[in-house]
Amino acid sequence: MTTVRVFGIGERKDRRSVRLSPAAVSYLQATPLTVILAAFLLVPILMILVVSFWDYDFAQMYPDFLTMNYTETLGSWVTWKIYLNTLKYALMVWALTLFIGFWVAYFLAFHIRTTAMQMVLFLVCTVPFLTSNIIRMISWIPVLGRNGLVNSLLIDAHVISEPVEWLLYSDFAVVLAMVHLYTLFMVTPIFNTLMRIDKSLVEAARDAGASSWQTLTNVILPLAKPGMAIGTIFVVTLVMADFSTVQVMSGGQSASVALMMKNQMSLLQYPAAAANAVVLLALVLLMVAGILRIVDIRKEL
Amino acid sequence: MSKATEIDIVSVSKIYGATTAVHAISLKIPAGTYCCLLGPSGCGKTSTLRMIAGHEAISSGDIRLGNTVVTDFPPARRGTAMMFQSYALFPHLDLVDNVAFSLKMKGIEKDERRAKAMDLLRLMQLEGYATRRPAQLSGGQQQRVALARALITDPEALLLDEPLSALDPFLKIRMRAELKKLQTSLGITFVHVTHSQEEAMALADLIVVMNDGRIEQAAHPRTVFEQPATAFVARFMGDHNVISGRVKEDRGGTLLLSVPAGGDFLAMDRGASRQAETADIAVRTDRVRIGPPAEKGLGFTGSVTNVEYRGSSVKLSVTGAGIEDFTAILTDHQFFANPVKVGEAIPLCWDVEDAVVLGRLTH
């Protein structure tokens, strides 16, 4: 025995369904991310902004509206020196990571023929990043130290008679460690843009009589700009916000903005640290805006 | 600006690891010829073009342009220019800089090279778009930019790698006419790779049909069409029925072929059979008529398996006398005077000059 059902007949018509306008559906779909961003990004930034105007003493914060935290921060030559020092690190690390990152990405994208091998080598680049930042940084100490690997090698080879002092706990060590930590952030976006360059463009350039160097400067570099810009944003923001590398590798002899904030917080000077954070945020946003003005990265997103 | 040159390919091979893409081909392309390299994908036509251009190393053999052996020259020193399949326009440069690229590489002053580039853009009727980027152009316009960029070096030969494959059918036919016009006005040698026999027929002075890394036939389109050299050429060019069988009788000038478990067929032999045991013959589809053959071996009786109306002509598929899928193209006039239906048995016939004996490549 079979039951024949005809559509529209015998179906309950009173089933309740909620009809939403298309606009409401779109808003609903965007809600989860909006909530997450609001709770974990917008609200904390607003809190920092609010706190930066508060008053404080050695034990407590007092809600208020004072510009004292800003005038103190910006009025002190120590702050300016620390900002300059941080910018110096950012500039040096940026230049080095850009140089190294571009050539690594170039090698991977244009000199490795098979995609499988490209992926393998790229993964090899990322292997060190499976360990913690701190461990990778600290492992430089036995290498660079007074009686470390480099110094003992150089002494054994009779290149020097006294250990080189500036290898560790110096700007050199800070920059070296940062380059080590952040180069991959440059390699990845550049590799990504280079992989998208049509190989026939290189052939077309060769057909037009371009030497390898001319092809690089006239075709590959201009087309790699968006990747370089993204990598630059990563590296600059990371370096500007770094405090652990500066603290460990300079042995407390150099300071960065983030390190200054960390010290202020350990003294419970939260409003002062907040004011500093607002200034740093404004500075970094300005730098990012500057980069985006120079290079159009929309194609990459 | 025209100084056409002859291209001479002398037993050139291309070997990739264990596979041979091109088997020692030899070909002479006279100066000022429009030459089409035609064949299915993977037949070695693109490798051949890229070897002429210098983008692919030649495994053995030599290529001569005019009087110079260019085998070991880089692309820019050969006097050739290549137009790439996807056009390979530089996306970050506007049209003027794209066209002027090779002049910039030579270190020519900005004003001079831009003026020359504008001349070529004017030739291609693109001067209004000079400051646009390639992405803002249509496919046909991009192709004209690519042509302008290739021509700015005053090449002696222009090499085109499937230049029309990215265009829609209407544009394809229009650009085809433009290419031919350009070649005629410039007078330089064009070598054009394509897999479309229609395109090759429309453009070429010299069609080179390639298969499996070898040249099957290199001749004027009319020769290729009327006297296909091999069964492959006859099948690939279309418009021919290929019948294979055992040679029954060589009458000197005509050949009698016997199809296994089927009929006997007569064909003109211009020395292609070489006294072999077996042979292939080709019968022009548009010369087949409905009716009893005038002589034994110039027709057969089969049943109609398919009727396809094409407007001005009607295509019949007939099976019989040991032949599968024999095609006959009738004019609509002929067909509707005496229409046939699927399943009907009909006699087909043709004249002796419409059936030719095909050769076979000796490897």
- How far apart are the C-alpha atoms of A242 and A253, rounded to whole Å? 15
| C-alpha span between A246 and A256 (Å, rounded) | 7
Task: Tell me the torsion sign for CA atoms A198, A203, A206, A208.
Answer: negative
State which H helix or E strand residue B283 sits in: strand B278-284
Q: Is A219 on the interface with B (CB under 8 A)?
A: yes
For A:97-136, CB contacts with B below 8 A are none
Query: What was the pLDDT predicted at A281?
Result: 93
* Report field, pTM of the whole predicted structure over 0.90: no
A227-281 residue pLDDT tens: 999 999 999 999 998 888 888 888 888 888 888 898 888 888 889 899 999 999 9
Q: Please give the average per-residue pLDDT across B40-67, as a whole number.
A: 86
Count CA atoms within 13 Å of residue B91 on its CB side: 15
A281 burial level (CB within 10 Å; 0-12, 13-18, 19+): middle
Query: How distant is the Cα of B55 from the closest Cα of chain A, in angstroms?
Result: 7
**B-chain residue closest to A223, CA distance:** B92
Percentage of chain B lying above the pLDDT 70 cut = 96
| Angle subtended at Cα A43 by Cα A38 and Cα A48, rounded to the nearest 5 degrees | 150
Tens of pLDDT along B224-259? 888 888 888 888 888 888 888 887 777 777 777 777
Total residues belonging to chain B = 363
Nearest-CA residue of chain B relative to A213?
Answer: B105
Report chain B residues whose CB lies below 8 A from the CB of A223.
91-92
C-beta atoms of B76 and A222 within 8 A: no
What number of other Cβ atoms are within 10 A of residue A158's Cβ? 7
pLDDT digits (tens, 9 = 90+) for B135-147: 888 888 888 888 8
Q: How far is CA B164 from CA B95, B175, B243, B325, in A?
A: 20, 7, 33, 32
pLDDT of residue B304: 87
Can you read off the two tokens belonging to residue A76?
């002190």
d(CA A164, CA A147): 9
Question: Does the structure show a pLDDT above 60 at B114?
Answer: yes
Q: What is the pLDDT of residue A299?
A: 65
Closest to B204 (Cα-Cα) out of B165, B176, B231? B176
CA atoms within 13 A on the CB side of B176: 23
Interatomic CA distance for residues A137 and A168, integer angstroms = 12
Asked whether the CA dihedral B353, B356, B357, B362 is positive or negative, the reply is positive
Q: Where are the alpha helices (DSSP H) in chain B?
A: 45-53, 95-99, 101-105, 110-123, 139-151, 169-186, 197-203, 221-226, 231-237, 332-337
Beta bridge partners of B329: B315
Do B76 and A223 count as a contact with CB atoms less than 8 A apart?
A: no
Handedness of CA A192, A197, A199, A205 (dihedral sign): negative
Question: So what's the pLDDT on residue A5?
Answer: 56
Q: In what order do the strands lie in the sheet with B80-83?
A: B80-83, B157-161, B189-194, B34-38, B206-211, B214-219
Is B283 in contact with B241 (CB distance < 8 Å)? Answer: yes
Neighbours of A124 (CB within 10 A): 9
Identify the pLDDT of residue A95: 96
pLDDT, residue B2, reads: 45
Q: Which of A115, A136, A96, A132 is nearest to A191 (CA)?
A: A115
Please give the pLDDT value at position A100: 95
For residue B75, which residues of chain A lie inside 8 Å, CB to CB? Answer: 206-207, 209
Burial class (CB in 10 A: 0-12, 13-18, 19+), B166: middle
Say what the pLDDT of residue A7 is: 57
Q: Which helix or strand (DSSP H or E) is residue A288 part of?
A: helix A270-294
Average of pLDDT values for B344-354?
83
Q: Which residues of chain A are modeled with pLDDT < 70?
A: 1-16, 299-301
B92 to A223: CB separation less than 8 angstroms, yes or no: yes
**What residues in chain B have their Cβ under 8 A from chain A's Cβ atoms?**
53, 55, 74-77, 81-82, 84-86, 88-92, 101-102, 104-106, 149-150, 153
B190 to chain A, closest Cα gap in Å = 16
Q: Given CB atoms, is A208 within the 8 Å cutoff of chain B?
A: yes
* Mean pLDDT (chain A, rounded): 87
Instruction: Locate A13 and state its tokens.
Output: 């018509």
pLDDT at B115 over 80: yes
